[in-house]
Structure formats: C-alpha cells, structure tokens
Amino acid sequence: MKAAVYLGPEKIEIRDLPKPDCGPREMLIKVEACAICGTDVRIFYNGQKNVVPPTVTGHEIAGTIEQVGKDVSGYQEGSKAIVVTPVGCGRCKFCRAAAHNLCVDFKAIGYDFSGGFAEYVLINAQAVAQGNVIVAPDSLEFDEGSLIEPLSCCINGAEYLKTTLGDTAVIMGAGPIGCMHAELAKSYGATKVIIIDTVDERVDLAKQATNADVFINAAKTDPVGAVLEQTDGAGADVIITACSAAPAQQQALKMAAKRARISFFAGLPKDKPTIEFDSNLLHYREISVFGAFASHATDYVRAMALIVSRKIDARKLITKRIPLDSIVEGFETSRSGHGLKVVVQP
Ligand SMILES: [Zn+2]
Ligand SMILES: [Zn+2]
C-alpha cells in the first residue's frame, strides 16, 4: 500500500509498504479521505514526543471497512466508517467514564499508532474493543466525513459552555476550527455569532464558510471595544479562542459578560504558555473558563449527525483536495492559512 511515511521534522516519503495484516481482534480500514489537522502540520515541521518516526500520521479518517478480524463481531466489510482517535487504557477512571481523551495512559491513532495518511489504516485490538470504528451511513461523503473528527473536538469543547438561545458567542480565530465553532454556536441557539481574526483573507473565508453575523479584524479594530459595542456594553456570553495566541485569551476575559463561559480551545505554544489577567474579572463577574482536549466517541456520533444532515455544511469548509503524493503541499497550504481544510484522498 502507498503510505506517507514521516521520518522526522520536514522529512516525509511516499513509500510502498506491505498492506497490514488484520489480526483476529483487529480491523482494517481503507482510507478514502484523511483531512490535515493543525497538529499534523506541527508534527511535520517540529516533531512531537508521542510520534516516533518512521510512522504514518493523520487521524481525521473516513473510509470503508476492508477487513474485519475473525473474532470481531458487529461490523460488515464494505461499510462506510469513521475512526475515533483516542485509545484509552480502559481501566482508569476517565476511561470508565468513556472519556478516553483524558486517559492517564492516553494514546492515539495517527500519533502513537499508525494513522490515515496511507491507503489503509489498521485499527488495533484495544481500539476495536473500545469501539473506535463507527459505522457511517451510506449517504456520508468521504471528504465531508473526514471533518467529523475536528467537529467532534469542537463539540467536546462547546459542551462545557452551555450555549443557549439568545446568547452572543464570540469566536477568536477564523480557521477551520473557528468556523466550525461558529456554526456549532448557531446550532446551540446563539443569536449573534461574532468571528474575530487578524487577517482580512481569513475573515473573508469565514464570511463564505459560516453563517456568523459579525466579522471583526482585530488588527484594525480593538476587538474588546467592538464586542462591547455589539452587545450594548454587556459583553459576550460565550467566547471561544480558536487560535494559539495569548492576547486572544486575555482579550476573551476582558470582553466577557457576567456569567460568561470561555473556552481556551486552542493551546498556547509550549515555550510560552503563561498569560496574565485580572483575576477580579472572574471573581466579580462569575466568569467560567474551560479547557478542551480531543473528544470522545459520543462527540463523533453527534458530529456525524450534523455533517450527514448538512446542518453543518462541511463542503464549505473544505477548500482543497489532494492526492497522497502532494501531502507536503497540503501541509504548506494548511500552515499558510490560505484556505480552510485540506483533505488528502489516498
Ligand atoms: Zn484533528
Ligand atoms: Zn484510561
């Protein structure tokens, strides 16, 4: 099988590898689409501890079930399927609560285990037993299906925020994740969704890809002042930072309404993860700040329902489709911020 083998920072080779053998408790998925995630880009350029070369990255996977191990029941070869990324130990308290994303021995497909930038991906016995293969309806388009994983992560983050009818939601960062959060906030009932970015091109992309109501370029307009103006001085009820920028987190705290919920959805760079803020803002205004990391299987099921029904139109978020051979070009495009989601079709 053809695979993009990651050999270390900025080194990747398209190689012909043997098609993986499917053990009795394993499953083999034929990858039809694997979208490029921000973390795939980071791994390609900088490496990551839990990604040991040579290996295959890619975790936003949609495909067909090629082979079902003889001891696995409940699946049919030929079905469309998507793959859940986190693989938990199954024994810690988080796994027992089905929150494999918080497992004390967290592992993941496309990181610790070989991933989807290849013609086939083998789902190991632990992942199969945990239910990491989710059968998709025949109506699922594979390229759209590859966006279920990132949307599931947005749902995981958004669930803490309890966005409801009449809320004003601010999304900081107009990348694919920011656009998904904007669409989700609408689904949850937010009446006014405001997208903020610092680059005109990205603001324009978000205008085309989302149903958000207000777009602000924070390089030209003070975003805190603009949000206060949009909310008659009250501030936003929900704020999501979908960009790895400390100033965005600080601004989020300043533009928050009383009882606002904030998601620091994107992490900050490892070498500079600290921010400073007025703690009394949180105290007197009863503001809550939440984190979010990856997602669990329930989030995938809900993301799949949103994408299959086109309540969230994944087609608007995909701006490039490439063959496996062009994967480096895909990483470059994703990093440049020109366009939204890039989908690899192996
Ligand atoms: Zn991802
Ligand atoms: Zn665990």
DSSP state of 77: T
Q: Measure Cα distances from 200 to 109, 217, 221, 338 in Å.
A: 35, 7, 12, 11
Alpha-carbon distance 244 to 56, whole Å? Answer: 25
Centre of ligand 1 from the C-alpha of residue 20, in Å = 23
pLDDT tens per residue across span 247-278: 999 999 999 999 999 999 999 998 999 999 99
- What ligand is nearest to the CA atom of residue 89? 2
Burial of 21 (0-12, 13-18, 19+ CB in 10 A): exposed
Largest CA distance in the chain: 63
- Residue carrying the six token digits 């040991």: 52
**Closest by CA position to 245, among listed 205, 263, 272:** 272
Cα of 151 vs centre of ligand 2, distance in Å, is 23
pLDDT value at residue 298: 96
pLDDT of residue 233: 98
Give the per-residue pLDDT at 183. Answer: 98
Q: How many CB atoms are located within 10 Å of the residue 188 CB?
A: 18
Q: Do domains 2-151+294-345 and 161-290 have the same CATH topology?
A: no
Ligand 2 center from residue 149 Cα (angstroms): 20
According to the model, what pLDDT value does residue 72 have? 98
Closest ligand (CA of 293): 1
Q: Point out which residues pair with 290 in neighbouring strands.
A: 263
Q: What is the pLDDT of residue 279?
A: 96
Whether 342 contacts 319, CB under 8 Å: yes
The per-residue pLDDT for 94 is 97
Question: Rounded distance, CA 135 to CA 29, Å?
Answer: 11
Asked if 63 and 30 count as a contact pair (C-beta separation under 8 A), the reply is yes
Crossing angle of helices 223-230 and 246-254, rounded to 10° = 30
Q: Give pLDDT, residue 35.
A: 98
The H-or-E segment that residue 343 falls in is strand 341-345
Using CA atoms of 161, 167, 172, 173 in order, give the dihedral in degrees to the nearest 10: 90
Q: In angstroms, what is the span from residue 44 Cα to ligand 1's centroid?
A: 14
171 DSSP β-pair partners: 195, 240
Q: Which residues crowd ion ligand 2, with CB under 5 Å?
A: 88-89, 92, 95, 103
Instruction: Quickly tell me which residue has 């998601």 as its tokens.
Output: 263
CA of 96 to the centre of ligand 2 (A): 7
Structure-block tokens of residue 160: 């803490």
CATH architecture of residue range(s) 2-151+294-345: Alpha-Beta Complex (3.90)
What distance in angstroms lies between residue 120's CA and the mean position of ligand 1's atoms?
A: 18
Distance 139 CA to ligand 1 centre (A): 23
Pick the CATH number of 161-290 from 3.90.1150.170, 3.40.50.720, 3.40.50.150, 3.40.50.1580: 3.40.50.720
Q: Which tokens sit at 313?
A: 């139109």
Q: What is the pLDDT of residue 60?
A: 98
Strand partners, 27: 68, 123
Distance between Cα 199 and ligand 1 center (Å): 23
Partnered with residue 263 across adjacent β-strands are 240, 290
CA dist 165 and 257 (Å) reads: 16
* Cα–Cα distance, 68 to 300 (Å, whole number): 21
Distance 44 CA to ligand 2 centre (A): 27
pLDDT tens for the chain, 346 residues long, are 999 999 999 999 999 999 999 999 999 999 999 999 999 999 999 999 999 999 999 999 999 999 999 999 999 999 999 999 999 999 999 999 999 999 999 999 999 999 999 999 999 999 999 999 999 999 999 999 999 999 999 999 999 999 999 999 999 999 999 999 999 999 999 999 999 999 999 999 999 999 999 999 999 999 999 999 999 999 999 999 999 999 999 999 999 999 999 999 999 998 999 999 999 999 999 999 999 999 999 999 999 999 999 999 999 999 999 999 999 999 999 999 999 999 999 9
Which residue, 18, 115, 107, 2, is CA-closest to 58? 115
Tokens read off for 234 = 């009250």
Other CB atoms closer than 10 Å to residue 310's CB: what's the count? Answer: 13
Domain boundaries, the chain: 2-151+294-345, 161-290
> Ligand 2: distance of its center to the CA of 106 in Å?
7
**Phi, then psi, of 5 in degrees rounded to 5:** -90, 120
pLDDT of residue 39: 96
**pLDDT for position 149:** 98
pLDDT of residue 317: 97
Q: How far apart are CA 260 and CA 248, in angstroms?
A: 16
Going from the Cα of 140 to the center of ligand 1, the distance in angstroms, rounded, reads 19
pLDDT of residue 62: 98
